[in-house]
Amino acid sequence: MADNEGEEIVFGQDEVTCNERGDEQAVEDAARADNASAGMDEIEKDTREDGAEAAKSDDSQSETYDEASCAKELEETKNRYLYLYAEYDNYRKRTQKEKDNLYSDAVAKVAGEFLGVIDNIDRALSACKEADTPSDDKIYQGIEMVSKQAVEILNKIGVEEIAVERGTRFDPNFHEAVMHIEDSDLGEQEVAQVFAKGYQYKDRVIRHAVVQVAN
């Protein structure tokens, strides 16, 4: 007891020191927590920015893909349209040609049958020319009117007589030679006489003119 009488005993000093140390530790912990929170905020911010950039990139790629897809689809549609148009144009031309050929065949067939009648009329006219009686003249005039009417009917449907007369240059595309004769008044391969008239429908020969060729 005597040894402790000279020392001053202060109660609570260790407690104060502990409290101060605790406060400093708390401050440090709070600072670390703030730093950690700030770091997390930065990470979240960076993450959001990266996400936004990624979204923009995705949108840009999507727009680019959509444009490319639309352009490709448009090109394919255009090609299909051109193909169908070409097919239709070929079909139209083909059917029109078949229609024209069918009509031409019908005209040629009908006209071919009708030409025999005109041949008989021409023969009757030739016979009437040789007659001397007035009655024969009237018959000639009547037959001539029938002949003109028949020719007019053929002309209306597009059938025309092939022009050929004495002195015409022989053309195998329009004339059929059945005889040859020597004639000093005519040149080589010239028509001397027409035995039967020829007829054509547009560029199609229905019947060649039957002729006699000189030299």
Whether 181 is in a domain gets the answer: yes
Q: How many domains does the chain have?
A: 1
- Is residue 124 in a domain? no
Other beta carbons within 10 angstroms of residue 215's beta carbon come to 13
- Residue 166, domain member (yes or no): yes
The position carrying tokens 């229905």 is 206
pLDDT computed for residue 89 by the predictor: 87
CATH number at residue 207: 2.30.22.10
How many residues belong to the chain?
A: 215
Burial pattern 14-35, b for ≥16 Cβ within 10 A else e, equals eeeeeeeeeeeeeeeeeeeeee
Give the domain range for residue 210: 160-215
Residue in this structure with the two tokens 């770091």, named with its chain if needed: 39
Measured CA distances, 87 to 80, 83, 96 (Å): 11, 6, 14
List of the chain residues with pLDDT < 50:
1-21
Residue 40 domain-assigned? no
203 assigned to some structural domain: yes
pLDDT for 119: 84
**Residue entry with tokens 């009708």:** 114
User: The whole model's pTM is what?
Assistant: 0.48
- In order of 144, 179, 197, 199, the CA distances from 194 in angstroms are 19, 10, 7, 13
Q: Which residues pair with 210 in a beta bridge?
A: 176, 196
Pairing of strands 209-214, 175-181: parallel
Dihedral sign computed on CA atoms, order 56, 58, 61, 63: negative
- Hey, what are 38's tokens? 């700030």
Question: Does a structural domain hold residue 205?
Answer: yes
Task: Please give the C-alpha separations between residue 69 and each of 58, 76, 78, 124, in angstroms, as whole numbers.
Answer: 16, 11, 14, 82
Q: Specify if 190 maps to a domain.
A: yes
SS3 label, residue 162: coil
Inside any domain, residue 169: yes
